[in-house]
A = this chain, B = another copy of it.
Amino acid sequence: MQTIKEYVQSHKERFLDELFALLRFPSISADPQYKDDVLKTANFVAEKLQEAGADNVEVCPTAGNPIVYGEKLINPSLPTVLIYGHYDVQPADPLELWDTPPFEPTVRDGKIYARGAADDKGQFYMHIKAFEYMMRNNALSCNVKFMIEGEEEVGSANLGTFVKENKVRLQNDVIVISDTSMISMEQPSLETGLRGLSYVEVEVTGPNRDLHSGVYGGAVANPATILSKLIASLHDENNHIAIPGFYDDVVELSPEERAALNQAPFDIETYKSDLGIEDVWGEKDYTTIERTGIRPTLEVNGIWGGYIGEGAKTVLPAKAFAKISMRLVPNQDSNRITELFKKHFENIAPHYVKVHVKPHHGGEPVVTPTDSIAYKAAEMALEEAFLKKPIPTRGGGSIPIVALFEKELGVKTVLLGFGLDSDNLHSPNEKYGIANYLKGIETIPSFFKYYAELSR
């Protein structure tokens, strides 16, 4: 029987080749034209689960993209771990900013460059390879279930129904998700909170047609100008979000909790130079770590209106649009926030334009426990692999499934992430370190071992 270290050493070439094959599928869930690639990706994942030794592998249809399920139930007396991940990815544009094609994985100084490398293909695939090791070396110490979905990047619209309809099949003692970041390879960490999300699209309509800006300009409200004024008003001079009631349910951390949070190693100068900015920006009286971890935010993800082509066109556009998302913290409720935004935006719109707010999707914020045996097992596994105790952090991202599972199955989650904030998630040149990938595969079996031990 090989140790996991030996197994990774002797199989790492294949582990990389398989991940590259997975990364070559442009499984973009936001854009309908990739529907076919999304299905191919699901089948590929199912096939690999089967090869690794899973039973009852199934590509489960949903109203949207299918969910891949597989399991290995060795003994009812042992605890059951459910691995969640997603095989869909963010759109790759702007394409021109990629140094190498987003769906042709390329290795540069030890990093795998490809859309989905870290979010989440590279991370969930670690679990399939760790599982393969445990199966072939008779080292599986827990029952395990895999649920890999294809709509995480568009709000997991159909996951809720699937979970409700499969409560028995999905029953488990802990959910493990590798879809987050750690501080660095020198300083492992475990995210203990995720922000919720409210994503809306706004449309401002002025005249019933595009107009000549010379003939009508100055006399008819310009939707692009009005939209700019509306967006500008959503943050006040202290960069607080100016939507009435927005902060009502926000849980304020105690001075001690904030102090603890700010213990995490963070160098503002490195942060700024990595991003190429002269200064950071954000809510008054909060640090950068707090702004991205424990505070809600409102960001314009896209804005467009009028003539955006080559050269100049003197038009007064009929419409202007924006995609706006808000990150939520405990105990904000995504539906309530969406409602508040809609009301407020319709409220502040002047009578000479019409506005329409279309909710896209949402997700609830969560805090994961640090006193559970699963968290303890994760700490031990990371310390064994990195020779350093991981520290708890608050993540800025959102994974709707976490709150959903807590609600539907009453199960807590461990966020065992091996990515880095600098991996360019959702950006051109997304990457994932080969070392992170292999280290993850190496860490997972110890988690299973410790979790089984502590569960006895």
Contacts and interface: CB of A to CB of B under 8 A. Distances in A.
B306 A313 contact: no
A398 interface: yes
B220 A231 contact: no
Contacts of A397: 212, 214-215
Contact of A425 (B212, B224, B317, B327): B212
A207 B313 contact: no
Contact of A312 (B30, B212, B307): B30
Contact of A220 (B93, B280, B425): B280
A350 B235 CA distance: 15
A93 B317 CA distance: 11
Interface string A288-327: 1001100111011111111111111111111011110101
Given A279-B351, A301-B313, A292 B427 contact: no
Contacts of A321: 308
B215 A30 contact: no
A426 B31 CA distance: 31
Contact of A91 (B282, B313, B425): B313
A277 B221 contact: yes
Given A277-B352, A307-B301, A426 B228 contact: no
Interface of A: 29-32, 90-91, 93-94, 97, 153-155, 181, 195, 197, 199, 201, 206-222, 224-225, 227-229, 231-233, 235, 275-283, 288, 291-292, 295-297, 299-318, 320-323, 325, 327, 350-352, 360-361, 395-398, 421, 424-429
